[in-house]
């Protein structure tokens, strides 16, 4: 890896949506005062908003996974295909799985939410060996067709472990994809709190009704362990399960939590309105669930951090529109107390998602 030492070095960790917008900005307007290196474990971007559609069979893998090489080349950035082993924010250095120690002047982190498998195994013994993890996405999209193939041979008992919209969307997509030809059944293991208790009442009501229509069993319980044949639940009950799908527990990667960058009680980095770490101002972090518009602010602020100028305030996610994919070409859209659902909502969501994905890779 060659870096010109006479110019400042911007390192982008992760190929998230905001970083793609930064690369797109570089492709439009190169800057001569910095080197840029993108670090990502795979040379692809996977659109997570379209993942339930892929699971349901509405999309092929090529529809939701786009190679990075064209955008990286157009931006003039270097690409390091590697995992991050550790981050030293004091020494301004990133240790990579390749053995390289990558120095930086400014660092930006926009990585996929990660699941700590050691921690998960401690909470749910047997998960590492028996569960199908949805993170990282690159692994999941490769393994999902194998589960579909099993369902074509016999009926499966599938458990989706995860609360929130992600778990509900995945359960509905799996119910559609695995029903034929043998009638596989889906259970959503949603934890203690009522499912979608933190969502608008109109959305909660419609999603619960859709889950019932798809004959998905919702259990308010936790998985205590897995043995490949059944899940042992915290309540003491046992749930027969051929295929547990783990859609919970994703957050900041271990290397970031262990770096010394200031974090909150949940282990997530604390950032200011400019997306800078509160403890290390040369480190920028894109929070999970940040709105699509955050990429433009990040691009401007990284250039400011390198070359000087005024920082911009990153937009907060204030959208009241919630859109949920339900499988079988069906979707729900809710705006406050108002809601719509059906195939037309799915068609609108499909057009929007395809358009936004294409725009990320259009110079």
Task: Give the DSSP per-residue string, 133-183.
Answer: E--SHHHHHHHHHHHHHHHHHS--EEEEE--HHHHHHHHHHHHHHHSTTT-
Asked if domains 8-113+252-307 and 117-249 share a fold, the reply is: yes
| pLDDT for the residue 4 | 54
Query: Tell me, what's the pLDDT at 316?
Result: 84
- Percent of the chain as helix, strand, coil, to the nearest 5: 35, 25, 40
- Phi, psi torsion values for 325, nearest 5 degrees: -80, 135
246, with CB counted inside 10 A (0-12, 13-18, 19+), is buried
Burial category of 39 from C-beta neighbours within 10 Å (exposed 0-12, middle 13-18, buried 19 and up) = buried
Backbone dihedral angles phi then psi of residue 277, each to the nearest 5 degrees:
-60, 135
> What are the tokens at 67?
């190679």
pLDDT of residue 31: 75
Per residue in 57-91, pLDDT (tens digit) is: 999 999 999 999 999 999 999 999 999 999 999 99
CATH number for the domain running over 8-113+252-307: 3.50.50.60
CATH of domain 117-249: 3.50.50.60
Q: How far apart are CA 223 and CA 189, in angstroms?
A: 8
**Residue among 61, 28, 247 nearest 159 (CA):** 247
Judging by beta carbons within 10 Å of its beta carbon (0-12, 13-18, 19+), is residue 200 exposed, middle or buried? middle
| pLDDT at residue 104, rounded to an integer | 98
Alpha-carbon torsion angle 100, 101, 104, 106, nearest 10: 90
Q: Which residues, in sequence order, are CB contacts of 79 under 8 Å at separation 6+?
A: 37, 38, 40, 43, 68, 69, 72
**Residues 363, 356: Cα–Cα separation, whole Å:** 13
- CA separation for the pair 250, 121 (Å, rounded): 14
Distances (CA, A) of 155 to 177, 180, 239: 12, 9, 16
**What's the pLDDT at 149?**
97
- Which of 180, 232, 210, 181 lies closest to 327 in space, CA to CA? 210
For the sheet with 101-103, list strands across it: 84-88, 93-96, 101-103
Structure tokens at 42: 């795979």
Q: What is the pLDDT along the chain (363 residues), one digit of tens a residue?
A: 555 557 899 999 999 999 999 999 999 988 778 999 999 999 999 999 999 999 999 999 999 999 999 999 999 999 999 999 999 999 999 999 999 999 999 999 999 999 999 999 999 999 999 999 999 999 999 999 999 999 999 999 999 999 889 999 999 999 999 999 999 999 999 999 999 999 999 999 999 999 999 999 999 999 999 999 999 999 999 999 999 999 988 999 999 999 999 999 999 999 999 999 999 999 999 998 888 889 999 999 999 999 999 999 999 876 789 999 999 899 999 998 899 999 999 999 999 999 999 999 987
> How many CB atoms neighbour CB 233 within 10 A?
17
Query: Exposure pattern of 131-164 as b/e (b: 16+ CB <10 Å)?
Result: bbbbbbbeebbeebeebeeebeeeebbbbbbbbb
Domain ranges of the chain: 8-113+252-307, 117-249
- Distance, CA of 205 to CA of 329 (rounded, Å): 19
């Amino acid at each position: 890896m060659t870096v010109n030492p006479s110019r400042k070095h911007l390192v982008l960790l992760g190929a998230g949506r905001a970083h793609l917008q930064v690369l797109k900005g570089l492709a439009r307007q190169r800057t001569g005062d910095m080197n840029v290196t993108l670090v990502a474990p795979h040379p692809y971007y996977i659109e997570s908003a379209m993942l339930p559609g892929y699971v349901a069979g509405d999309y092929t893998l090529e529809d939701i996974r786009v190679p990075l090489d064209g955008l990286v080349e157009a931006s003039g950035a270097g690409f390091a295909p590697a995992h991050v082993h550790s981050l030293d924010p004091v020494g301004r250095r990133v240790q990579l799985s390749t053995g390289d120690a990558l120095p930086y002047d400014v660092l930006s982190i926009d990585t996929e939410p990660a699941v700590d498998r050691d921690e998960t195994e401690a909470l749910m013994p047997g998960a590492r060996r028996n569960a199908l993890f949805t993170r990282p996405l690159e692994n999941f999209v490769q393994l999902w067709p194998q589960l579909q193939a099993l369902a074509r041979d016999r009926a499966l008992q599938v458990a989706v472990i995860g609360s929130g919209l992600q778990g509900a969307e995945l359960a509905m997509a799996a119910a559609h994809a695995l029903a034929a030809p043998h009638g596989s059944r889906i259970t959503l293991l949603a934890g203690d709190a009522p499912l979608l208790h933190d969502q608008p009442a109109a959305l909660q009501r419609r999603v619960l009704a859709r889950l019932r229509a798809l004959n998905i069993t919702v259990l308010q319980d936790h998985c205590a362990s897995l043995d490949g044949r059944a899940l042992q639940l915290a309540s003491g009950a046992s749930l027969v399960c051929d295929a547990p799908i783990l859609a919970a527990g994703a957050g900041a990667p271990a290397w970031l939590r262990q770096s010394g960058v200031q974090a909150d009680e949940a282990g997530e980095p604390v950032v200011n309105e400019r997306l800078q770490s509160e403890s290390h101002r040369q480190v920028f972090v894109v929070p999970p669930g940040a709105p699509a518009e955050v990429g433009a602010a990040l691009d401007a602020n990284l250039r400011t951090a390198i070359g000087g100028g005024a920082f911009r305030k990153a937009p907060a996610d204030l959208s009241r529109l919630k859109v949920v994919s339900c499988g079988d070409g069906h979707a729900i859209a809710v705006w406050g107390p108002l809601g719509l659902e059906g195939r037309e909502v799915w068609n609108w969501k499909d057009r929007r998602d395809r358009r936004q994905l294409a725009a990320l890779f259009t110079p």
